[in-house]
A and B are shown apart, each in its own frame.
Chain A
C-alpha cells in the first residue's frame, strides 16, 4: 500500500529537525520565560515553590513538542479518532473512579500519575473534528445530516465536563468545537442560527437553575462587580486595583505591592496576568499580549500553508484553544469575562495545562514539518 502514500517523500529525523519552526519555539519560550519570572516574583523572590518547577516542566514539555513534531501528520490523523474516544471514555469514567477535588470530580489517578481527561479532550476534540472534516466535501459541510456527528462529538464531552462540574472547561470545549466547525466551512446562515441557539441555551440554563449556585454567582458577579465586594467580586476588584496601580510602566520586578501582600487569590495560576501587569505595567502587559498574538498568527499561517485538510484544521483547532485561553484569562482578570478558572497558557503555574498546550503545538509543529504531505481523504492511508 505504500505506493498510495502521496506525494512527498520520507525524511529522516535529522532533516526533520532542521525544518522545525524556530520562531514559534522562540516565541513559546519567551512566554514561558515570562511565566518563570512572574512566578519567581510571586514567591517573593524565590525559585520555590513555583518558578523552578515551571521552568523544568517547560523544558520537558518542549521535548514532547519536538518529539510530537517529528511524527508524520498522517500518524496523527490515524490516531485522531482513537485519541478522541480514549479521552471520551476517560471522561465517562471520571464520575465513577475520579478524585474529588474542591467539590468537583475532574481527575483520574493511575499509579501515582494524575490524569485529567478534560485536558486530554481539548486535544482529542480538535483532532477528532479535523479528522471528521478531512473526509467531507465542501458541499457536505453545511448539510444537515453531516452536522449531526460533529454536534455529538462536541456535545458529549461538553456535557460530561459540565457535570463534573467544570463550567470553564466546558465552555472552552464548546467554543473551540463550534469555531472549528465554522472554520471548516459551515455556512454563515447556519453559523448565525447556531449562535442564536447558544444564546438561547445559555438563557435556559440560567432560567432553569441548571448552573451550580457558585457558577451562577460568578456570572452575576461578573455582570455587576460591586454587588458583593467581599465575595466573588472582591477578587476581581483586587485584581483591577493591582493592574490599575501598576500604571504605564509598572512598579518594577518584585515590587508589586498588591500581589506581594496577598490581596489576590490563586496568584500563581488564574491571576498571574495581574501580577505581571502590576509589575511590568501597560507596556509589559501589551508586550506579553503581542507575544501571544504572534504565536497565534504564526499558528494560522502554518495551518493555512498545510497541504492536507486534516493538518490545516488540526492546527487551527489548536490555535483556537490557545486564543480562547489567552482571551478568557486576560479578560477575566480585568472584568471583561466571568471568573471561570481558565489559566494563562505557559505563564500560569500548572503542569497539566502546560502539557496540553505544548502537545497541541506538537501537532502544529508536525503540520509545519510535514506541510507538503497530503494524506488520503479516507482512513485507509497506510
Chain B
C-alpha cells in the first residue's frame, strides 16, 4: 500500500516558517552589504578618491645632468655621455631568475653581479627598477630592443654616465663618481635628496673634486607627474606642468689641460740611462701671481672612466697591488724626505741665526760629529765653499757645519713660513701635511716614551739636508720654490669658478724674510742650473725664461759596508724600492718669476739625472705656451645649460 503524501501540515508549516526566516536572514545580509557599500561609497568616499588619485598618478623624478668640469681655457675635463642600459622591474616578470637568464643570453651577467642584482631587488622591492646592465654597446642595445617582446619586466633606457676625456692624466684632480651606497643615503636625511639618489644608476662623487664639489655638481632634480596603470606602465606624461631638472654647476679649474697632459707624458717617459724603468713620479706647476695650479700630475694613474662603469675586480686588484701606487696622487698624498731641496730653507735659517753667506767652510767629504762621520754626497769633498757655492754644489758638509750651532726650532719655523708642514684648501682630499721636525714635534711624537723626547743636535745635521724625520709633499715643494722666488706667501688654488661665480685669487701676504737672505738662495738656485752647478744639464736654453732650480736626492736605504763587500756599490745595483728618491724644484724666469715647479721621481736615484730633466721639459712646455699670458675662459659666458636627462622606471 502506497501512502499518499497529501497533507502533512506540520512539516509544511515548519518549512514555510523557516523559508520566511531565510528570506529575513538574506534581507539582513543584504542590509549589511548595503551598509558596507554606504560606508565605502558615501562615508569614506573622499578618502578613496585620494587613494585612487595616488593609484593613477605618480610623481617621476627627472634626474639632472651633472655639472661639467672644464680647465682654465674651457677644455672639457669631465662631461656626460649617453649610457645605454637595461633596467629591470621585478614585479613585471613572472620569475626573476628566469628573466635574468634570458637577459644574460644577450648581455652577459657575471655571477657576482647577479648576486648584487638579487640583493638589490630584495632591498628595494618589486616595483623599483633595478639596473642590470650599463654602458652597453649600440650593438647589444639594439639586439636587446629587438628581443624586448619576449623579455617581461625589461626596460631599455638611455641614461647618462660620466666621461673623462683626459683619462689617466686628470684622474687625481677630477677624481671619479660611483654608485650610491647605503652610507651615502644615511648621510642625506632629507627625503627629496634620497629619492634622487635612489634613481637607478645615479652616481655620486667618490674622489677628488667630484667628491668635494658633489653638492654643486649634482644639480637639482626636476619632477613630472605621470599617469600609470596597475603594471606601473606610463600611459600619459604631463610634460607641460613638469618642473625641469637643473644641471649641476660647471666647475672651472685653474688647470691647463694641455700642459697637464704634456706633463703626464713627460713624467711617464723613462730616463735615457734606464729606459725600462717604470716612472712613479709627480709634478706640480703653479702660477706665482695668481696661485693657480696649472699642472698637478702623478704617474702611473688609474683611468677614472673605468670606475664609472663599476670597476672590474681584476683591474682593481692590479691597481691596489702595484708597487707604483697608481691609486695615489703623489703630488699631495705622498710625503717624501725633501733631501737637498730643503737647503734653501736651511740657508735662510742660517742667515737668520746670524750666519754670514760669505763665511766659508772646507769640505773634505765628511765631518766627524758626536760619535760618527757625517758624509757629503761627494766622497772626495768640495774643498772650500761659501753659501752660494754650497747651494750650487749641494755641499752637505757646509750645512753640517751650520747645523752644529743651528736651533732646530728656527729651521722648522722657516720651513713652515715657506709652506711646508701644512695642507692647502684646494678641494682635493687626502693631502699629507708632511713633517717639519722641531723640539715640540719630538715631544709629542714620543709622548709615550719620555726618554726619547730630547732633541739631539745630531738630528739637526740630518734635518738640515732634508733627511731624517723631515718630509714634504711635491706640491709643498713647488709652493716653497714659489715663495722663494717671489718673497710672498704664495697660496695655491685649483678651482677658478663654481658656476658663474669666479672665486677671488688668494691674496699672497709678504713672507717676511730679509730680501738679502732671499737673494742668496735665489743666486744659489740660479747657479745650480746656469753656472754649471749640480743640475747644469737641466738648464733651459730660452733666454727669456731663465730657470733657477735645486736638485734633491733623498736617501731611502744606506749602502752598508756589508753591501760593498758583496760588490754592491752603485745605486742601480739596488732593487727599485731601495733606491733613492729624485727631486727637483725650480722657478722661472729668474728675474720677475711667474712659474714654479716641482718634480719627484720615486726611487729615481738622483735629482739631477732623473727629476731635473723632467722639470726642464715641463717648464719648457710652460714657457712656450705661457698660459698666464692667455685670457682664461669667462665662466659667465658659458651657455646656461638646463638640458634634462629623464629616466623612466
Contact = CB atoms under 8 A, between A and B. Distances in A.
Interface of A: 4, 6, 134, 136-138, 141, 179, 182-185, 230, 238, 240-248, 257-258, 261-264, 277, 281-282, 285-286, 289, 292-293, 296-297, 300, 303-304, 308-309, 312-313, 316, 319-320, 323, 326-327, 330-331, 334-336, 374-378, 380
A277 B48 CA distance: 13
A316 to B, nearest CB: 5
Nearest to B5: A377
A240 B39 CA distance: 11
Interface string B50-64: 011001100000000
B356 interface: no
Contact of A6 (B6, B20, B32, B41): B6
Nearest to A243: B40
Nearest to A256: B52
Nearest to A244: B48
Contacts of A281: 41
B26 interface: yes
The 5 closest A-B pairs by CB, nearest first: A244-B48, A377-B5, A245-B52, A138-B11, A282-B41
A293 B22 contact: no
Interface string B31-52: 0111011101110110111011
Contacts of B2: 4, 376, 378, 380
Given A4-B2, A312-B15, A323-B26, 17 more contacts: A6-B6, A184-B15, A247-B49, A248-B45, A258-B55, A261-B228, A262-B229, A263-B230, A277-B37, A292-B30, A293-B30, A296-B26, A300-B23, A304-B15, A316-B19, A323-B22, A376-B2
A378 B3 contact: yes
14 contacts: A136-B11, A137-B11, A184-B18, A238-B230, A248-B41, A261-B55, A263-B229, A297-B23, A304-B19, A309-B11, A316-B15, A327-B33, A334-B36, A376-B5
Nearest to A140: B11
B507 interface: no
A366 to B, nearest CB: 18
Contact of B22 (A258, A300, A380): A300
Contact of A377 (B4, B49, B126, B228): B4
A335 B14 CA distance: 35
B12 interface: yes
A304 B29 contact: no
Given A244-B47, A247-B45, A183 B22 contact: yes
A244 B22 CA distance: 30
Contacts of B34: 286, 289
A185 B18 contact: yes
Interface residues of B, number: 46
B573 interface: no
B314 to A, nearest CB: 40
B41 A244 contact: yes
A263 to B, nearest CB: 4
B139 interface: no
A345 B272 CA distance: 96
A69 to B, nearest CB: 20
B231 interface: yes
B16 interface: yes
A138 B56 contact: no
A4 B2 CA distance: 9
Nearest to B12: A309
Contacts of A134: 5
A375 B20 contact: no
B19 A261 contact: no
Contacts of A297: 23
Contacts of B230: 238, 261-264
B27 interface: yes
Contacts of A263: 55, 229-230
Contacts of A334: 33, 36-37, 40
A230 B230 CA distance: 11
A54 B30 CA distance: 25
Nearest to A139: B10
B49 A245 contact: yes
A96 to B, nearest CB: 30
Contacts of A247: 41-42, 45, 49
Nearest to B228: A261
Contacts of B14: 138, 184-185
Contact of A241 (B6, B22, B48): B48
Nearest to B29: A327
B37 A285 contact: yes
Given A4-B2, A245-B52, A285-B41, A336 B22 contact: no
A247 B8 CA distance: 51
Interface in B215-242: 228-231, 235
Contacts of A377: 3-5
A182 B41 CA distance: 35
Nearest to A303: B19
Contacts of A285: 37, 41
B48 A240 contact: yes
A57 to B, nearest CB: 26
Nearest to A182: B18
A245 B23 CA distance: 32
Contacts of B55: 238, 241, 258, 261, 263
A141 B13 CA distance: 14
A174 B44 CA distance: 35
